[in-house]
Amino acid sequence: MRRQKVVVLGGGMGGLTAAWRLSEPGWKTEFESITVYQRGWRLGGKGASSRGASGRIEEHGLHVWLGWYENAFQLLRECYEELNRPVHDPACPVQSMSDALIPSGTIGLAERRNGALRPWVTEMPGNGRSTLASKAGRELTAVDFAVQVWRLVSRYFEGTAGAPSSPGFNPVRTAATGVAVSSAALITEAARLVGLREPRYNAETLEFGTGMSGSGVTGGSEAGGDGLHRTWQGVALMTAAIRGIVADRLLTDPRGLRTINDEEYLDWIERHGGPSELRDFSIVRGLHDLAFGYVDGDPTRPSMSAGTAVLFGGKSLLDYKDSFIWKMSAGMGDIVFAPLYEALHRRGVTFEFFHRVDHLHTSRESNRIEAITIGRQVRLEPGRSEYEPLVSYGGLPGFPAEPLVSQLSGATGIERHPLESHWCEWPDVERRVLKRGVDFDVAIFAIPPAMGRLVCTELLADRPEWRDMVDRIGSVATQSLQLWIREPERSLGWNHPGSTVSGIDAPFGTWASMAHLIDVEQWPTGDRPGTIAYFCGVLDAPPIVESAPAAKWKAEVRRRAVDFIDHDLGGLLPGAVGANGFRWDLLCGSGGGGDSDLLDSQYWRANIDPSDRYVQSLPGTDRYRLRSDESGYDNLFLAGDWTDSGLNAGCLEAAVLSGLQAANAVRGRSRDHRISGYFLP
């Protein structure tokens, strides 16, 4: 039988995962070739990062791995084992999976009080469910579940009475405070549910009135009004969720959590008795920040489908292994995409960089993709057969911030053009048409729907389900900011190294302490940062495709960043603010000076390209996602976080799940073949 030629269109996490599973040892007996087509000079898509001046890491936005990303961990583990750097690259500073990912269980939520940000930080408890070591992972058992709930509750008690690391920690006082606060919260919620008065909270006096005479609690301590108020909100949220799960029969309905995916999460919580003030609860805002769940990027309009929110929130809290969050020990490009490139390349997968997919052409008669038009952005220098995209940064291979012009022909000035952007004006050097039966047999479409709208016009004209998919699945632009600050975090007043804090309001819902990257970057002595801070959030840019609004939105993000730094950063890093506001001369790479123009030496992005828009999980959209094997065409399969993978949320695990499912479909295997974990049915 003739071996098939596979093309993977798009080199993000979904496409590369499909290529990884298809190219397992022995693949050449089944396939003649596997070729990845990617516009521009690097891989990674929404997760791409590269190295700029002084080897600094420049990301699309903060990327963390949640501790339950079982299939993504497994993929990376396989990749590092196969690379075998101890033998092939012993000088590389990241040798294995355990060098690549760092447990980062310190998380926080920000609350705004009297106009100022007030972060609430805790260390999520570890557990013995190893992510790095075990290959197969272990399913959550009922005992694990109960123990994990107990760990979370005890850690919360510690937070209300003083953390164990603090000198004043006293286990007896912790237990007593925990029991007192929880009892008060439970009584308050019970009273509310049976129709007594609504609890009231005054953020200025920190007074929490429970609605029962004489039971108001006052005080500035965590155990006082603030702690009780938060505990009551947590109890009210859990009570409503449990009521909802039982009343909507989610555990017995064969459609499981999908049953409620047409409903908005907070509406569902309210339908089951949750108070409306949960809309402002920091944990609820943190969940929406994690999933960029805001309609049109408007932070006042949180929205997630209820089933996905319960699945995502539940897995995040209860199903993590070892650590709640894992951070990468360098950029996502260095830790994930460069190793995947190296290992795939070694397996014999071909990469066609600088190849932009322009159109998929169909045939009604054959029900197949017959041709693919590609715009070739640049030619390689004469005599060169392939582009080699990686550069060594302190011994670690990674993608540079610009194409390596020395490998290209006639490319003077190309580095100033945004080759990954839909609005790039650099002229193509060639129009290539890949033909079925000649250049490919099977195609894996790994390009998100907002870009699919532009390149799949024939499929859209042909099939209503494609039109529904691109019209109905919501997406949102995002903005990010990275600051390199000379002084260490502690001297700036932040005492939670490695923490990730969400629930901050616009423009950046999340900030992360990333000082572990200082030694990975190549800063000159005298201009070395002591703090690296990443910020990320939604952006209210509409999905415009006709004109080129990139410059406008980049300027807008800069303006918002200056405003945020001037007005809000002091709530997180008080020491960075002096009598005249933010001390701009603290910024590295600026060469000294003193005003907001120095921000230009830092890094920020407006992620507005159709392909860069974050794919959301809005209510009522689930049904319009297509599965990897549901393209409707016999030789076309789908991979990416936008498909119906069973997770249906924009995250690395969803992209990996989908890539694995696409590979399973190409091979004619069952959808969940060699996939772990519990997801939507």
Ligand X SMILES: Cc1cc2nc3c(=O)[nH]c(=O)nc-3n(C[C@H](O)[C@H](O)[C@H](O)COP(=O)(O)OP(=O)(O)OC[C@H]3O[C@@H](n4cnc5c(N)ncnc54)[C@H](O)[C@@H]3O)c2cc1C
C-alpha–C-alpha distance, residues 672 and 661, integer Å = 7
Site string for ligand X, 631-650 (x = CB under 6 A): ---------xx--------x
Q: How far is the CB of 654 from ligand X (least distance, A)?
A: 6
Task: Candidates 607, 631, 648, 664: give the one binding ligand X (CB under 6 A).
Answer: 607
Q: How far is the CB of 379 from ligand X (least distance, A)?
A: 17
Size of the chain, expressed as the number of residues it contains: 681
Q: Which stretch binds ligand X (CB under 6 A): 44-52, 237-245, 271-279, 388-396?
A: 44-52
Counting other chains too, the contacts that 154-162 makes at CB distance below 8 Å and 24 or more residues apart are: 154/125, 154/178, 155/122, 155/123, 155/124, 155/125, 156/122, 156/231, 156/234, 157/181, 157/182, 159/120, 159/122, 159/222, 159/227, 160/222, 160/223, 160/227, 160/231, 161/222, 161/223, 162/222
Is residue 446 within the footprint of ligand X (CB under 6 A)?
yes
Distance CA 185, CA 216 (A): 12
Q: Per CB under 6 A, does 12 bind ligand X? A: yes
Q: Apex CA 413: angle with CA 412 and CA 415, to 5°?
A: 115
453 touches ligand X by CB under 6 A: no
Using CB under 6 A as the binding rule, whether residue 618 contacts ligand X is answered as no
| Min separation Cβ 72 and ligand X, Å | 8
CB of 277 or CB of 629, closer to ligand X: 629
* Residue 50 makes contact with ligand X by CB under 6 A: no
Q: Which helix (H) or strand (E) holds 19?
A: helix 13-22
Question: By CB under 6 A, what part of segment 456-495 binds ligand X?
Answer: 478, 480
User: Interface with ligand X includes 45 (CB under 6 A)?
Assistant: yes
In whole angstroms, what is the distance from residue 604 CA to residue 58 CA? 9
- Tell whether residue 119 is a contact of ligand X (CB under 6 A): no
Q: Distance (Å, rounded) from C-alpha 272 to C-alpha 325?
A: 30
Residue 286 makes contact with ligand X by CB under 6 A: no
CB of 231 to ligand X, least distance (A): 28
CB atoms within 10 A of CB 591: 10
CA distance 652 to 46: 10
Distance, CA of 206 to chain centre: 34
Measured from the CB atom, is 232 or 320 closer to ligand X? 320
- Per CB under 6 A, does 334 bind ligand X? no
Q: Is 192 an interacting residue with respect to ligand X (CB under 6 A)?
A: no
Q: Rounded to 5 degrees, what are φ and ψ at 35?
A: -125, 130
User: Cβ of residue 176: shortest distance to ligand X, in angstroms?
Assistant: 38
Residue of 57, 79, 357, 577 interacting with ligand X (CB under 6 A): 357
Q: Which of 57, 97, 338, 451 binds ligand X (CB under 6 A)?
A: 451
Distance separating alpha carbons of residues 606 and 538, to the nearest angstrom: 10
Residue among 5, 41, 47, 369 that touches ligand X (CB under 6 A): 47
Distance CA 495, CA 504 (A): 18
Q: Residue 313 interacts with ligand X (CB under 6 A)? A: no
Q: How far is the CB of 351 from ligand X (least distance, A)?
A: 11
Supply the minimum distance, in Å, between the C-beta of residue 286 and ligand X: 13
Q: Is 356 in the site for ligand X (CB under 6 A)?
A: yes
| Cβ partners under 8 Å of residue 52, min gap 6 | 58, 401, 603
- Residue 536 beta carbon to ligand X: minimum distance, rounded to whole angstroms: 5
Is residue 18 involved in binding ligand X (CB under 6 A)? Answer: no
Cβ–Cβ < 8 Å for 160, 223: yes
Q: What amino acid is encoded at 298 in this protein? A: D
Binding track, positions 529-558, relative to ligand X; x by CB under 6 A: -------x----------------------
Secondary structure of 172-223 as H, E, C letters: HHHHHHHHHHHHHHHHHHHHHHCCCCCCEEECCCCEEECCCCCCCECCCCHH
Region from 5-13, 50-58, 456-464, 665-673 binding ligand X, contact rule CB under 6 A: 5-13
Task: State the Cα–Cα distance between residues 188 and 236, nearest whole angstrom.
Answer: 9
DSSP state of 264: B
**446 vs 515 by CB, closer to ligand X:** 446
Q: What is the DSSP code string of 593-628?
A: --SGGGGGGSEEEEE-SGGGSEEP--TT-GGGPPPT
Part in contact with ligand X (CB under 6 A); list of ranges 31-39, 224-232, 280-288, 467-475: 31-39
- Which residues touch 217 (CB under 8 Å, ≥6 apart)? 184, 207, 208, 210, 224, 225, 228
Q: How far apart are CA 207 and CA 193, in angstroms?
A: 21
Q: How far is the CB of 644 from ligand X (least distance, A)?
A: 13
Q: How far apart are CA 158 and CA 563, in angstroms?
A: 35
- 498 scored as a contact of ligand X (CB under 6 A): no
Select the span of 42-50, 243-251, 302-310, 668-676 touching ligand X (CB under 6 A).
42-50
Q: Which helix (H) or strand (E) holds 107?
A: strand 106-113
- According to CB under 6 A, which residues from 408 to 437 bind ligand X? 420
Q: Name the phi and psi angles at 379, rounded to 5.
A: -100, 155
Residue 161, SS3?
A: helix
Binding ligand X (rule: CB under 6 A), the pick from 5, 21, 39, 486 is 39
Q: Does 56 bind ligand X (CB under 6 A)?
A: no
Q: Does 614 bind ligand X (CB under 6 A)?
A: yes
In angstroms, what is the minimal distance from the CB of 114 to ligand X?
A: 30
Please give the Cα distance from 301 to 264 (Å, whole number): 11
647 DSSP 8-state letter: S
Q: Applying CB under 6 A, which part among 37-45, 140-148, 538-546, 596-604 lies near ligand X?
A: 37-45
Between 10 and 397, whose beta carbon lies closer to ligand X?
10
Shortest distance in whole angstroms from residue 658 CB to ligand X = 7
Residue 291, interface with ligand X (CB under 6 A)? no
Q: Which is nearer to ligand X, 7 or 236 (CB)?
A: 7
User: Does 447 help bind ligand X (rule: CB under 6 A)?
Assistant: yes
Smallest distance, Å, CB 46 to ligand X?
4
Give the per-residue contact string, 362-401, with ligand X (x = CB under 6 A; - = no): ----------------------------------------
Compute how many other C-beta atoms are within 10 angstroms of the C-beta atom of residue 237: 19
- For position 655 contacting ligand X by CB under 6 A, the verdict is yes
Q: Which residues bind ligand X (CB under 6 A)?
A: 10-15, 37-39, 45-47, 60-64, 356-357, 420, 446-448, 451, 455, 478, 480, 536, 607, 611, 614, 640-641, 650-652, 654-655
